[in-house]
Amino acid sequence: MTTPDPAASAWQSMRRLVLELHDRRGAVSEAIGMSYLRAKALSRLMPGPLTQRELSAELMTDAPYTTVILDDLERRGLVQRQVNPADRRSKLVSITPAGRQVADDAGRITSTPPEVLGALSKAELRELARMLGVLVGQSERPPD
């Protein structure tokens, strides 16, 4: 009998906890009345304007699908597109105040921790946050 790989086991538990047992994407879609991917597009625009190409890369979607998403968001008054002054062949996409409100609403839903975390003590929560912070920090560093 083989012993399960602790890293694989931890990864599977994290995935199950976040993506299966407490997935917030459906709640976001229901609350804002559009797909989660549209909310994700808005959240990616919160720091500042992006070109459509940059937004496609952020969303991991192809250019035609990003155009469909942006057409819908623009119709709803949540984003605006204008010619990119740095490259007139591309469009720059920015979020509107109404889009910021929708992104904030979606962010509140996704940021609300699941009740199951209440089963952990404050010390356990601090340790979990510390360990996950280390992993996030290591993931954000460029490879050596």
Handedness of CA 68, 53, 51, 85 (dihedral sign): negative
Instruction: Give 11's Cβ-side CA count (13 Å radius).
Output: 6
Q: What are phi and psi of 81, to 5 degrees?
A: -115, 140
Contacting residues for 23 by C-beta, under 8 A, at least 6 apart: none
Give the Cα separation of 40 and 102 in Å (integer): 10
Contacting residues for 94 by C-beta, under 8 A, at least 6 apart: 45, 48, 49, 79, 80, 82
pLDDT tens, the chain, 144 aa long: 677 899 999 999 999 999 999 999 999 999 999 999 999 999 999 999 999 999 999 999 999 999 999 999 999 999 999 998 988 888 999 999 999 999 999 999 999 999 999 999 999 999 999 999 999 888 876 655
**pTM score of the predicted model:** 0.83
Q: Which domains does the chain have, with CATH numbers?
A: 50-106 (1.10.10.10)
